[in-house]
Amino acid sequence: MAIHWMRRRRADFCCIVSPSCFNRTGIRPLKAATSGSEVRAANRACVDLKIDGNLLSNDLNRSRHVGLASSFTSADTTRRSMDFRQIRTFLAVADTRSTTRAAELLHIVQSAVSRQLKLLEGEIGVPLFDRDRTGMQLTDAGRIFLEHARRALQEINQAQSEIRPVPGQVAGAICIGLLPSSCEIIVSEFLRLLHAHYPAVRATFSVGYTDHLTRWLETGEIDVALLYQPDPTPGIDIKNLVIEPLSLVASGAGDLREDAPVPLRELGRTPLILPGYPHRLRLLVERRCKAAGVTIATADEANTMAVQKVLIAEGYGRGIMPRVAARQELTTGAFCAAPIDDPAFARRIVLARPTTRGATPAVRNATDLLVASVRVCAATDDWREATWIGD
């Protein structure tokens, strides 16, 4: 055996290579191992390869020919490499806010959880949690790391499911972006179809407004999305699915009726609960009212549908939304609603897919089921205002 030092793009590492590998690898002997302890220590270690500032760790303990000694920085100080056990432990603690509950979730002892966190924080160089009486609270650095850790683990899990599918079975994962106003009615039907046709495909959902979902499509955080009248965006293909009218919504004590559309001037009679800029609904309301000479007053701004509905229910103002977004409140009598008598107050929902990266079989097939579920839902009484325009 011989020890060799190699440099590749700002990375220094020491490797032990058997003589039989020299011809295949092109590595030439530079320095012989001076003792068996060097070889044994090297064979117990992991690669800690830093490329352009990013650590890439590979456990090569099982290799017949190559064992890697602990890596060195330019100052020759020893470092440990982060592994996926540490990332999984970090995510479990972040989700449960407790090392005890994380240990139960991971089926390991609590001391192992604490040790993995200590190693991870030592590698990153900053604390990821504040420990107090209420539990484990993420620091600012921890919240940043959480976002990247989830994405990294999701990519690894997806790769594993795609590399090792059951023969003849579509397997993998899809992440779908949905609008808050229609997510509940669509998710139920989509999962019914997915479990029936592709039980080995896992689905996750991200809910947000169109601008957020568009950014997530561009960055690869989601695979497909349902958007509300998006602007043309390079690298994103859209397909029209449904169009539906928008309604003026008030608390149950109001006098709005589904069979009595209200004129545009009605929007100026009471304060409105609207999302903030640059939400498309806000821009639509202000643009159309200004053109019609209607002055509106905004009572409060709320960028989440749930908060908007709370403010409407408490009587702080009236809102503008598709009827499907308030179907439960309308059914129970907590809200009343009336269509707005203006053709501009309608929204078009589209399927958006990135054109800059290929889709896996799981994503392609699940996307077809997503479109089918929207069509099925648009034909039900719960979403009777929607008109299918997908063909």
Give the position of tokens 């044994």: 40
Q: Is the dihedral of CA 22, 23, 28, 32 positive or negative?
A: positive
Alpha carbons within 13 angstroms on the beta-carbon side of residue 193 total 18
Model confidence, pTM: 0.59
108-120, pLDDT tens digit by residue? 999 999 999 999 9
DSSP H helices, the chain, are 22-25, 36-43, 84-96, 99-106, 110-124, 140-163, 183-197, 210-219, 280-292, 305-313, 327-332, 361-378
d(CA 40, CA 33): 11
Of the pLDDT bands very low, low, confident and very high (cuts 50, 70, 90), residue 35 is very low
258-314, pLDDT tens digit by residue? 889 999 999 998 899 998 887 888 888 899 999 989 998 887 888 888 899 999 999
Average pLDDT, the chain: 79
Statement: residue 330 has pLDDT above 70: yes
Peptide bond into 278 cis (omega under 30): yes
Q: Where are the domains of the chain?
A: 2-68, 84-161, 172-391
Domain 84-161 carries which CATH code?
Answer: 1.10.10.10
Q: Among candidates 256, 273, 276, which has minimal Cα distance to 311?
A: 273
Using DSSP, state whether 125 is helix, strand or coil: coil
The per-residue pLDDT for 156 is 80
d(CA 230, CA 214): 8
- Which CATH entry fits the domain spanning 172-391: 3.10.450.50, 3.40.50.1860, 1.10.443.10, 3.40.190.290? 3.40.190.290
Beta strands 318-322 and 236-251 are antiparallel
Residue 14 or residue 234, greater confidence: 234
Composition of the chain by helix, strand, coil, percent to 5: 40, 25, 35
Using DSSP, state whether 286 is helix, strand or coil: helix
